[in-house]
Every structure is written in C-alpha cells, then in structure tokens.
Amino acid sequence: MDFFGRKACTSEGLALIAQATDTPVVPLFLLREKAGFRVEFGPELPIIRTGDKIRDIEVNTRQYNRAIENVIRRYPDQWIWVHRRWKTRPQNTH
C-alpha cells in the first residue's frame, strides 16, 4: 500500500473489521502539547464498497493511510512509528 509515495507493508485488519461490522472509522490522534496531550479526532471515514472484496480492502486501507499522512504532514515533529514501516515491500519497489 502507498504511504508517503512509497510502497509500505500495511495491515488490512482495520478495513476487514470495519467491513465486517459495517462501521465507519473515526481517526483519533494523540498530540503532544506543552501542558500534556490533546486528542484530535479526524472526520469519519465511511466504508467504501465497490462490490469486489479485495478492492474494498485496498480502497479503504488507502483512505486510512491518507488520514495518517495528513496528520503527520501537519505535525511532522510528532511522528513516531514503532516498527519499520518500509521494511517489507513488494519486490522491485524503491
């Protein structure tokens, strides 16, 4: 899945759960501030259904990645990822 313009290993779990429960995703981010932390909710991300299960997973996962990218672009100094996001990528991908 694309993440900041590079192919990156991305879990399909969130898309699968959202589809199975017919529940949209509401992004939530914890942001550092001088006095502590602030919770920021993103807009609700509706479940996209194309009629093709694999395509649905890809389209929904792509929109979840975009929501994360948007917050990272706004607060790049607060981005910390606990695993190597680009460690596992498809072959022939830079």
What was the pLDDT predicted at 34?
A: 93
More confident residue, 14 or 89: 14
Report pLDDT for 92.
Answer: 59
Helices 53-74 and 13-21: angle between axes, nearest 10 degrees: 120
User: How far apart, in whole angstroms, are the C-alpha atoms of residue 58 and residue 61?
Assistant: 5
Identify which has the larger pLDDT, 7 or 72: 72
Of 7 and 20, more confident: 20
